[in-house]
Amino acid sequence: MKRKKAPPKTERRAFLNMIGKTVVSAGAMLGAGSLLDKKEAASAQSFPTADYDWTKHRWAFGVDATRCIGCLRCAEACKAENGTNPDAHHFRTWVERYVYLEGEERARVDSQADPQNIAAAGAEGVYRFDNRYKDEKVDKAFFVPKICNHCTHPACVQVCPTGATYKTKDGVVLIDEKYCIGCEYCVQACPYGARFFNTETQTSEKCTWCYHRITKGLQPACVEVCPVGARIFGDRNDPASPISEFIRNNRVSVLKPETGNAPNCFYIGIDKEVQ
């Protein structure tokens, strides 16, 4: 009997459904303190929502570094939402502090993972910047949130020998943790240090822009919790979306443009020292 070919949309939905189940079940497994409550996790079996079409979106991220106050609620929310290892060596997102002291030409840089900041916070799972510059004469200082750039030409996807990490049609770089062999070539290839090795799953891990949330019309956790609107997220296909307006209304830049990766995380208010 000649097998009838399923219409592409059904195939796509089945595929998305599979991804959804993978991501959500992983999230559910790891998700102590998850923003998703249990009820939501159970209903998320149908993830992504039946009416989600990944060809209709083009997600992008914006960072207004002039607004960031270094409160690190983003880092905390990200860890909670995604069940990432709470220690100081695994971050899907982090914040860098750049400080120019008077008379110094180069910035002093640290992040919440700095041992001094951890000591001030009291534990690795608590994220805080210490007050080390209180007695110094600071010339200029600012914070820069960092996250996976979900590049248009991602070096991490290029080097993956199995295709376990891939770019979705809506512009997000994801990892299939059930297929990843854990070679960490992608961790090496990312110029931004956005990837790390998950010692529990023994696979690579990185920011997904909270794919399980954005496909339901929600914002990524870090964007949701930012009290000052330093993180902007949206659909570039929608000219009225916050990210489209952010890119239209500002002179935006990207990190390490010379790599040719063409990041989709757009910055304003950063300085030459920011890599």
Total chain residues near other proteins (CB under 8 A): 48
In this chain, which of 63, 77, 187, 270 binds other proteins, going by CB under 8 A? Answer: 187
Residue 195 touches other proteins, criterion: CB under 8 A: yes
The size of the chain, in residues, is 275
| Least distance in angstroms from the C-beta of 228 to other proteins | 22
181 near other proteins, rule: CB under 8 A: yes
Confirm or reject binding of residue 133 to other proteins (CB under 8 A): no
Spatial distance between the Cα atoms of 26 and 22, rounded to a whole number of angstroms? 6
Q: How far is the CB of 24 from other proteins (least distance, A)?
A: 21
Contact window for other proteins (CB under 8 A) among 35-43, 65-73, 196-204, 241-249? 196-204
Contact segment (CB under 8 A) with other proteins among 62-70, 86-94, 130-138, 262-270 equals 86-94
Single residue of 162, 228, 253, 271 touching other proteins by CB under 8 A: 162
Q: Which of 54, 59, 91, 142 binds other proteins (CB under 8 A)?
A: 91
Nearer to other proteins, 111 or 244 (CB): 111
Nearer to other proteins, 23 or 164 (CB): 164
Binders of other proteins in range 231-270 (CB under 8 A): 259-260
Residue 53 in the binding site for other proteins (CB under 8 A): no
For position 111 contacting other proteins by CB under 8 A, the verdict is yes
157 scored as a contact of other proteins (CB under 8 A): yes
Can you spell out the DSSP letters for the chain?
-PPPPPPHHHHHHHHHHHHHHHHHHHHHHH-TT-SS-HHHHHHGGGPSPTT--TTS--EEEEEETTT-----HHHHHHHHHHT---STT--SEEEEEEEEETT-SS-EEEETTSHHHHHHHSSTTS-----TTTTS-EEEEEEEEEE----SS-HHHHH-SSS-EEE-TTS-EEE-TTT-----HHHHH-TT---EEETTTTEEE---SSHHHHTTTPPPHHHHH-SS--EEEEETTSTTSHHHHHHHHS--B-S-GGGS---SEEEES--TT--
Report the residue number, 189 or 218, with the smaller CB distance to other proteins: 189
**Which among 17-25, 39-47, 194-202, 210-218 is the span making contact with other proteins, rule CB under 8 A?**
194-202
* Residue 228 Cα distances to 110, 182, 224, angstroms: 21, 37, 10
- For the CB of residue 173, give the shortest distance to other proteins in the complex, in Å: 14
Beta carbons of 114 and 220 less than 8 angstroms apart: no
Q: Does the footprint of other proteins cover residue 46 (CB under 8 A)?
A: no
Q: Which residues bind other proteins (CB under 8 A)?
A: 87-91, 94, 96, 109-113, 146, 155, 157-164, 179-185, 187-197, 199-203, 259-260, 275
